[in-house]
Amino acid sequence: MNIVNGFSKLTKNQKINWLVAHYFNNNQAIEPLLQTYWNSNEQLQKLHDEFIENTITNFYLPLGIAPNFVINGTTYAIPMVIEESSVVAAAANAAKFWSKRGGFKATVLSTEKIGNVHFMFAGSFEKLTKFFNTLQSIFRNRTAEITKNMEKRGGGILNIELIDKTADLANYYQLHATFDTKDSMGANFINSCLEEFANVLREEVMEFDLFTSEEKESLQIIMSILSNYVPNCLVRAEVSCKIAELHSKEIENPQEFAEKFVQAVRIAQIEPYRAVTHNKGIMNGVDAVVLATGNDFRAVEAGVHAFAAKTGTYASLSYAEIDGDTFRFWIDLPLALGTVGGLTNLHPMVKFALELLQNPDANELMQIIAVAGLAQNFAAVKSLTTTGIQKGHMKMHLMNILNQLKATAEEKATALKYFENQTVSHSAVVEFVEGLRK
């Protein structure tokens, strides 16, 4: 067993040497490979090394740009960090399509974030309620130092409720707190407040005269943590136009297209097998911009998919309708994002991405990212209901296949020209390249 003690205390080179010695046969190839991805700027590399623990190198993903996004009358070039070949092209195509039809509209519906103190109490709920009511001012006073700067920016603690969850789990209760964290994602702020709420519970329960000694002893704090499910931190993005205006090179019959499009979205609303893939396409756009702007895509993913299942059945995040002669397509997404704090102040490419987006506040970033998700969804459903998804996707994937085959520049140029009017598949590309080489 390759068990190691004190790995985190080793230098980066020592970590690499240990990995090479224990896990790789080709010792001479691994270390140069890892060092190839180090930044030549030592100060910048040190910054990257300190983002996480046990860093050995950098892992690069492409940063692409999807231009021509018109959102609420402002034109954006949206940065996207993603490895999937067709995503940026699809977003750019959808952006250009809608730029000629009025652009995207986006509205922040609410900005409430949530955190909970989870605790057990084996006593009278009536007495617990009276106890809780005595604590409201104490909760606020004890967190005053934590909240003062946030309150100066117009945010802070919105509300604190006592929630009885004993029907689901014996003796289980929550403090359910809501917050407005303005331009910060707010995880550290929320968690600090929650932990202080827990301290108040622990201390004040011993002083509450209505409780018996057994009731006092029964109160046990389990954990204090924010929730990444933010159904009341919500943004809407939408597009609409006259059905006749949908006409394009791919859409020869706008009425038929609109009807098929609406049906495709309705299928995703009632069929979970389709809904998961439908929503994955939305998240292609969302996650790519979340990553580019230094936000937490895992938190966003978890919250969005929980929202997709809020009715008890997993369903489409987007909606489409025909109203008279008008086609409308929209999405509501829960997005807890920040434009200050975290990597936004540290990562040079995050700073670049935010500047490229004209330094949005958190609400504006919510709108931009929701639009990116809607654009991606429109592009996917449009392809599915017209030419089929594989034609465009495999065209974009062609270069990856050629690179896998170590094609020369001349071979790439010849292959790209040949496959302009041919179906792209891995086997077809292999056969074509092997034919060239004969």
Of 280, 305, 412, 426, which residue is the catalytic one? 280
Please name the residues in contact with 423: beta carbons below 8 A apart, sequence gap of 6 or more: 391, 394
Half-sphere exposure for 49 (CA within 13 Å, toward CB)? 19
**Integer-rounded Cα radius of gyration of the chain:** 27
Q: Does the annotation mark 393 as catalytic?
A: yes
Indicate which residue of 49, 84, 151, 250 is catalytic. 84
Strand-pair partners of 175: 117, 162
The reply to whether 397 belongs to the active site is no
Antiparallel, parallel or unpaired: β 220-227 and 74-81 = unpaired
Q: Please state whether 186 falls in left (phi above 0), alpha (psi between -120 and 50) or beta.
A: left
**Quick one: CA dihedral 368, 371, 375, 377, positive or negative?**
positive
From 113, 296, 347, 395, active-site residue = 296
Determine whether 84 is an active site residue: yes
Of the candidates 118, 182, 393, 395, the residue annotated as catalytic is 393
Closest by CA position to 248, among listed 387, 91, 65, 390: 387
Burial class (CB in 10 A: 0-12, 13-18, 19+), 200: middle
- Could you list the active site residues? 84, 280, 296, 393
